Structure 1
């Protein structure tokens, strides 16, 4: 079983950058839109709020599926598949947790943020070659997700657990995805200019 992740070159690198650009940009825009919707809907953990809570991990699961299909065989692809399955389970768990209010929701989101943050770090490190723009936004976002997940679990057992932080989390993640897309777009233009 090979664990090697090939570094794309030439046309392969250009196609990989283009695919990741669309994925990251779309993922970022959807995350920011979700954050705006959730900011207006989470005062009560009602059916609308719970639906939005379930949708967010499903967005991540869908993105992971798209990424999985575009990624060559290797450890990077397996991590992407794991993250997709994890996000699907998180969607189910947060739907169940929503019936219990803010505290269990924060515990579920916190656990998901910790594990998915680690997965994002691993994928970012494996894509860190110059052909894919060094992946700094992805690495920073994964690290912050890990730390924020720990904070959510601490906050959940505090006196005043609040879901306000989830909109901030989604906004931050969306901004980092958009930044990574822009970095890939800049890298593509830079390399195209060199070949002209």
Structure 2
């Protein structure tokens, strides 16, 4: 029997790997932000640009594996929004962290809503989407919170984004585990059937 049993769709097998990858990258980003970015503003700035740039790349790769950007409109828009945001963060960094966190907040709202829409679209074809719906909604809410933080007068740096990235890592990891369990049950059903 192959690693992917006939009862496990290629899309479900892909999402299992994809969600683990997204969780791992988020965890690595957090570690870099906390350990290096907090002390080195230049590294922190690069990490802030890389966060939405990685999201753009991840959406592109995921869409490509599931029919391309043309067949996945929500991911195409998320890709575009994330690319534009990476550039906008680079520009906002020249004005300071308040502007940067506000741009990040707008992106968190838009990308969260697009992630939620992607999960709704995938509901019937893939497991773990309830977690992605929660993640998308949380991202949109976090975007509004970034505006509050940016206007509060507190010290802002790359670690301002770390809790948001941590929740993202949690949701991707939970989705990965959910899909893994679902796939294992499907394989077990084939063997016992």
TM-score, scaled to structure 1: 0.87
Measure the CA separation in 2 of the matches of 1:81 and 1:116.
Answer: 11
Q: Residue deviations 1:34-63, cap 9 Å, x none?
A: 011112334467321111111111111111
The alpha-carbon deviation at position 156 of structure 1 amounts to 1.0
1:108 aligns with 2:103: yes
Please list, as runs of the form range in 1=range in 2, the aligned pairs for 1:157-172 lying within 5 A after superposition.
157-163=151-157, 164-172=159-167
1:25 aligns with 2:20: yes
Q: Secondary structure at the match of 2:60?
A: helix
Q: Secondary structure at the match of 1:110?
A: helix
Tell me if structure 1 keeps the 8 A contact 2:22–2:172.
yes
Q: Secondary structure at the match of 1:160?
A: coil
Q: CA RMSD in A?
A: 2.1
Tell me if structure 1 keeps the 8 A contact 2:111–2:139.
yes
Tell me if structure 2 keeps the 8 A contact 1:110–1:153.
yes
Measure the CA separation in 2 of the matches of 1:47 and 1:137.
Answer: 34
Which residue is 2:147 aligned to? 153
Displacement over 6 Å in runs of 4+: 73-76
Structure 1 residue runs of 5 or longer lacking an equivalent are 1-9
Q: Secondary structure at the match of 2:154?
A: coil
Matched pairs, number: 186
